[in-house]
Amino acid sequence: MNETKVPSVSPTLTHLDENGQVRMVDVGDKAATARCAIAQGQVHLSPHAWRLLSARDNAKGEVLNTARVAGILAAKRCAELIPLCHSLPLSFVGVEFSADDARHVLTIRSTCRTTHQTGVEMEAMTACTVAALTVYDMCKAADKGIVIDQVRLVYKSGGKSGEWRHD
């Protein structure tokens, strides 16, 4: 696991003021720059639920398309869900899926882009998480033990801290 180290990142919690009180970060003086964030997570299904999700004659496309739309909508509403997030004009939200048939794992990867004064990491992670929850919701009748895990930021670019990658 390699992480690109970013110089001059504040070691403090930016959403707390000097008295430890919660605050929204003031980005008013920051320059608007192109920003991108990519998040990834996994959904682990039982063999039975995986077969139902993967069957050519079932609505696999509808499960994944529904999860894709849910993820996109969630990114657009991130500021309504996470109390201190800024509302952002998103220029792009994408949600992609890749399947590991041997392990019965669906990997979800979400990408968000904007040109703004703050990053889109939370939007990307929200899109990924809600897409995973939608897969769970649509498959839970076949498997209540579905596991969602490893939701994390894998890439971000733009802003003062520049590029960061989780490899």
Active site residues: 137
CB atoms within 10 A of CB 4: 12
User: Would you state the structure tokens that stand for residue 68, as one six-digit string?
Assistant: 């894709």
CA distance 148 to 135: 10
Q: Which residues contact 8 (CB under 8 A, 6 or more apart)?
A: 160, 161
Please state, in angstroms and rounded to a whole number, the distance separating the CA atoms of residues 20 and 25.
13
Contact 112, 90 (CB under 8 A): yes
Q: How far apart are the first and last CA of the chain?
A: 5
